[in-house]
Structure 1
Amino acid sequence: MTTVPVLEPLPSQPLARLRLAPHSTLPRRIDGAWWPHSRDLLVELPLLIGALPRTWGQITGVTVNTAMWAASPGRMLVANHVVRLSRSSGSHGRHTVCLVSPGRGRWDLLVVPPEVDAADAEPLMAAAAAGVRPSH
C-alpha cells in the first residue's frame, strides 16, 4: 500500500493593492496609486500588470526608480509577453512607476512603499486616485 501525503493548499497570491483615477480625456501627472507588498519587482510587477484595466493594453515598458526597488533584470516575462524594465536614479520620481503600452499610452502611478502601514497608505492612495499628488 502506498501512502500519499496530504498536501496543504497553496497560499493564494496576494491581490494587487491598486487605486486608479477615473477615466478622463484630460492628462494627469498621476493616474493612481500602487501599494506593493514588497520591494521585489519580479514578484510585484506581475501582480500589478494583471490588475490593470484591459483598456490600457499590453504593458511593454516599465520605469522605476533605482532607490525604491531591489535589483532586477532589464526584462521579464509577464503573462507570456516581455516587459522591459528601465531603472532611473534621478529623472523619474522615487515614488512613481511609469507604465507604457505602445499605441495606448503612458500611465504614472504613485508607489506607496510596502513598509507603510494601512492607516497611512489608504489616504495616500485615495489622494492619488482623486488626482491630488500627496507630498511625502
Structure 2
Amino acid sequence: MTQRDSTATTASRHPSPPDYTPRLRLKPKAAPTGFVDGAWWPHSDDLQAELPDLLAVLSVRLGRIERVMYHLGEWAVAPAKATVGDRVVRLDGYVSQPVDTLAVRGLNRTQCLLLVIPPATGAEQAHRAMMAAAAPDSRLPIAQLLSMGGQ
C-alpha cells in the first residue's frame, strides 16, 4: 500500500482561498427569508476582477459555482465566461435581473441572491445596508435596503 500525500488531498477537496476577504455579509444558513440572502460591497465595477474572491467564499455555502447572473447596466463589460481558480463559471447579464443584485448558483442548483452595494458607497452607509440585508429576519426590499445605506 502506498502512502498518500495528505496536502495534495486537502488541496483538491477545498477551493482555493480568496486573496482578499470580500466585503460580504450573509444571512445564517437557514430557511430563506426576505428578498436577498445577504449583501456584497465590491471594490469596483469590474465583475471579472471582483468575482474570484467572492466565489471562493460563496463556494463554502453553495459548493462548486456554476453560474453568476447580473444586471447588464451595472458592471463594466464582462465576458460570457470567467476562469475562477481551476474552473469555468458562466457569467450571464440580463436586463431582467433585478437592479443592484447578483445571483450566484451552485452546480446542485442552490442559489444565493445578493444585494450589491455600489462600490463608491461610503463605509458607514455600506455597513448599515449590509447588516440590514444579512439580518436573519430581514424581509426588506432592495430599494429600502439601499436607502438605509444612504443611496
Displacement of 1:27 after TM fit? 5.2
Equivalent of 2:26 in 16, 20, 24:
20
Q: After superposing the two structures, state which structure 1 stretch, 27-36 or 117-126, moved more.
A: 27-36
Give the equivalent residue in structure 2 for 1:71. Answer: 77
Aligned equivalent of 2:8: none
Distance in 2 (CA, whole Å) between partners of 1:135 and 1:35 is: 11
Name the structure 2 match of 1:8: none
- TM-score by structure 1 length? 0.83
**Structure 1, unaligned stretches of length 5 or more?**
1-12
One-letter amino acid of the structure 1 residue matched with residue 48 of structure 2: L
Q: How many residues align?
A: 123
Q: Are 1:61 and 2:67 matched, yes or no? A: yes
Which protein has greater RCO, CA pairs closer than 8 Å, 6+ apart? 1
Contact 1:65 1:88 in 2 (8 A): yes
Give the alignment of 1:1-136 within 5 angstroms.
13-26=19-32, 28-52=34-58, 54-89=60-95, 91-130=96-135, 131-133=138-140, 134-136=145-147
* Offset of residue 104 of structure 1: 4.6
Query: Given residue 46 of structure 1, which amino acid in structure 2 is its aligned partner?
Result: P
Structure with the larger helix share: 2
The 1-side partners of 2:60 and 2:146 are apart by 30
Q: Secondary structure at the match of 1:52?
A: helix
- CA offsets 1:55-105 (integer angstroms, 9 cap, x no match): 31011100011111000100011121110000011x211100000112251
Cα RMSD between the aligned structures?
Answer: 1.5
Asked if structure 1 preserves the Cα contact closer than 8 Å seen for 2:81 and 2:91, the reply is yes
- For structure 2, the 5+ residue unaligned runs are 1-18
CA deviation after TM superposition for structure 1 residue 15, in Å: 2.3
TM-score (norm 2): 0.75
Change (3 A) 1:118 1:132: farther
